Amino acid sequence: MVRSLVYAANWKLHHGPAAARDFVARFAELTEPREGRELWFFPTAIAIAAVADGFRRRADVRVGAQNVHWEPKGAFTGELSVPLVAEAGATHVLVGHSERRHIFGETVEQSARKTVAVLAAGLTALVCVGETLAEREAGRTEDAVRRQLDLVLEVVATADRSRLLIAYEPVWAIGTGRNATPADAAQVHRFIRSRVEGRGWTDRLRVLYGGSVNAGNALAILAEPDVDGVLVGGASLNPEGWAEIVGLGG
């Protein structure tokens, strides 16, 4: 059986609808579906529909939102609800990305509420966890990951477990050019799995790695058996570069 790997592109604050359509057209020229490989795209909110429409004939592609509010509607100016992003074509949602936590002040409790809302609507949640440089240097990596992860695990219904994935993203390695070694990543991934198994989960939780992933280090990271894919920011913004990365591994 071919090992299934997830290649997730987080475009952050890049690519509006026009640029997204150009990206999709070029990327489609460079790639084709391949067994054991899933391609996930998290574009800007206003480009979700463009990307979903552009990839509508690609069964290997999933499109997601970078963030949602936990309420389905209401007086929340500037927010997006799960029903709204789903209507635009999103089937997946990033939850608790480090930039949401550290720039916008998202709490562990808010991440848990978002996760519940995403899963209750039948979408897939990719929940991000990871430590800061200070926490890493103080030997508190596992404490930081445990704090961010455990509440999410507590609130996920048994029936929804198959649609929950975790991304380990050491904050100190995002956009810095530094990255955890494959062995470092695998160690934290094993810790994450131990927290899940301790709660009686029988299905294997899929865990992705994110943190300055590029064409030069992706293959070594993906070679680790405890790494089920990668969450990539800057290196996913160019269709040629992203096509090169998704051609690795598997």
Tell me which residues are annotated as active site: 97, 169
Contact status, residue 151 vs residue 112, Cβ threshold 8 Å? yes
What phi and psi values does residue 203 have, to the nearest 5 degrees? -75, 145
Long-range pairs of 27-36 with CB within 8 A, sequence gap ≥ 24? 27/239, 27/242, 27/243, 28/54, 28/55, 28/58, 30/239, 30/240, 30/243, 31/243, 31/246, 31/247, 33/58, 33/59, 33/60, 34/60, 34/250, 35/2, 35/250, 36/2, 36/3, 36/4, 36/5, 36/250
Torsion of CA 19, 23, 25, 31, to 10 degrees: -170
Cα(245)–Cα(209) distance, rounded to whole angstroms?
14
Q: What are the angstrom distances between the C-alpha of 242 and each of 46, 139, 192?
A: 21, 34, 27
Query: Is 229 buried (19+), middle (13-18) or exposed (0-12) by CB count in 10 A?
Result: buried
Apex 249 CA angle, 93 and 126, nearest 5: 15
Output the six-digit token pair for 142.
């596992």
3-state secondary structure at position 159: helix
